[in-house]
Chain A
């Protein structure tokens, strides 16, 4: 029979042609721009490492970096806490909570909605004067004066953080619940026989066995969090990360540098800095979690 293996090239050719043009080439082109000053017209001027020198000392970038961490970090702790609590409740044999399918779907719903619609919705609901949230809180009597949610740095960050939690706790719950249902129920029965309480069952059985899933949740959430853009863009007054730059995240800074101020060279440098940060933090997270898992295993033996 004649050799037809070369035909494989025909099958993968369209993919790789498009991939090289629209995916790989722009990545390298962007890298080239990091060494240039470029306003989007004319020819890029080669300026060596000036952009890199600038980004290291750029307080706005540092601020954007810190903002991204604060907003993502608080949201992640809260979101993971809620998801773990829910997973613990649903996996507890004592209570036999019903309606897992229903609750999973309802908690997941906010995640499916277009982020820009969510941003717009909360943008008007958090309006200090006419927003439904202040009106509701005033009506119930939780607060006596309207809160300027999006006009003060702290409450603005808190609001975005809480919206992120609202959007993502359902997803995290589904993923963790999937991990929990993968754990053999024999462990839980044995624990029940031995008279372990809920807390013990959770910390000694569920948590250690969930480690790989938690790693997955942490890394995907971290990567997504570092790319936070839509919410701060559409919830700050002019899309510049107001108030007082508290909603200025790294990708928002990148966007504004490129498409508002036409600093393409510097924006490209921000993109690469963001990439480097993502790689470093993913690697560190992965490594530390992996080492922990190894230590646990050795102890077990």
Chain B
């Protein structure tokens, strides 16, 4: 697979035979590893402190810091849950992100298929228009977007968070590129000979071919939606509808903030699942970042 090739070339580069052995290089090597370990500690220690403090009582945290866990995890949880039900935020975030990912994946594939397979009037202009709009940052239309939703009566619902995912220019762009190099016209012809309708061809022939690319994009779509803060902050008013990032902001101003242990626990609950998911997907995600940047 492509991902393995990337790794291989890197390994080759590092292991190119040329033996240079002297004590000076060894010292430098030790210094480099020390540097790398220091950077590793810096990258991880805030999360470590977060987890440790989530298990300590407010009093313990105020008195000083510690690398050893405390015993107040359950008390902290009880205090937190009394004021803010973080699992509701979790469920909301999950719901929104899953919907966004599914809609974005399906409709982007549909649009990419339309652009890649058919020759219709105005096709290139529409595609160009899409690319230009792709460059426009999200905040540009924020005020108008808010007013539009006010007009539609969709404020404080998930519609403004989910429905726009149907139009994801970047995913369409990516999938169209992918499709033009993987989908052979002969496949389509064969399906048409068998009497399959165009939509059926899309579902049975094109979509399966696109699945790897859709999956790649889905990871980033999901992460992007999961972490999105500004749009849900503007659109949602009811705390029971808040997504996790908005709930984090809410947590800051709530009574939970008076108990530092509970606050740390709340943050930890929002962070740890992503860290666990990263354990499984890290190679995949990183290789995609690498591949994406080289193509530019």
Contact = CB atoms under 8 A, between A and B. Distances in A.
A, B co-complexed: yes
Contacts of A11: 110-111, 113-115, 117-118, 198, 202
Most buried by A among B167, B169, B293: B293
Given A101-B283, A107-B39, A12 B289 contact: no
Given A19-B167, A120-B267, A105 B286 contact: yes
Interface stretch (A68-76, A111-119, A148-156): A111-119
A32 B113 CA distance: 35
Contacts of A82: 39
A288 to B, nearest CB: 18
A182 interface: yes
Contacts of A108: 282, 285-286, 289
A102 to B, nearest CB: 9
A286 B45 CA distance: 37
By size class, the interface of chain B is 35 or more
Contacts of B238: none
Given A9-B120, A114-B270, A188-B16, A175 B61 contact: no
A237 to B, nearest CB: 10
Given A114-B244, A115-B245, A124 B263 contact: yes
B20 A113 contact: no
A29 B40 contact: no
A261 to B, nearest CB: 13
Interface in A1-60: 4-12, 14-16, 18-19, 21-33
A56 B132 CA distance: 27
Contacts of B113: 11
Contact of A26 (B114, B141, B166): B141
Contacts of B172: 15
B43 A8 contact: no
Nearest to B226: A114
B274 interface: yes
Most buried by A among B7, B13, B20, B172: B13
A15 B108 CA distance: 8
A297 interface: no
B167 A23 contact: yes
A283 B75 CA distance: 55
B19 to A, nearest CB: 10
B95 interface: no
Contact of A170 (B43, B108, B167, B294): B43
A5 B260 CA distance: 63
A51 B296 CA distance: 38
Interface string B166-205: 1101001000000000000000000000000011001000
B4 interface: no
A278 B40 CA distance: 33
Nearest to B11: A100
A275 B140 contact: yes
B252 interface: yes
Given A7-B118, A112-B223, A178-B293, A27 B65 contact: no
B36 interface: yes
Interface string A98-139: 111101111111101111110111111100011010011001
B36 A97 contact: yes
A280 to B, nearest CB: 13
Interface of B: 6-7, 9-10, 12-16, 18, 20, 25, 28-29, 32-33, 35-36, 39-40, 42-44, 46-47, 49-50, 53, 61-62, 64-65, 107-108, 110-111, 113-115, 117-120, 123, 126, 130, 133, 136-148, 160, 163-164, 166-167, 169, 172, 198-199, 202, 223, 226-227, 229-230, 234, 244-246, 248-249, 251-252, 260, 263-264, 267, 270-271, 274-275, 278, 282-283, 285-286, 289-291, 293-294, 296
B118 A121 contact: no
By size class, the interface of chain A is 35 or more
B245 A114 contact: yes
27 contacts: A10-B198, A11-B118, A12-B110, A14-B107, A18-B167, A23-B164, A23-B167, A26-B148, A30-B140, A97-B29, A97-B32, A99-B36, A103-B36, A103-B40, A105-B282, A110-B43, A112-B278, A115-B245, A117-B245, A123-B252, A139-B64, A177-B10, A181-B10, A223-B137, A230-B230, A264-B143, A268-B144
A259 interface: yes
Contacts of A132: 49, 53, 65
A267 interface: yes
Interface of A: 4-12, 14-16, 18-19, 21-33, 82, 86, 89-91, 93-101, 103-110, 112-117, 119-125, 129-130, 132, 135-136, 139, 166, 170-171, 174-175, 177-179, 181-182, 185, 188-189, 192, 212-213, 216-217, 223, 227, 229-230, 233-234, 251, 254-255, 258-259, 264, 267-268, 271-272, 274-275, 278
A104 B144 contact: no
Contact of A192 (B18, B115, B140, B290): B18
Given A23-B141, A115-B245, A181-B6, A94 B293 contact: no
Nearest to A27: B141
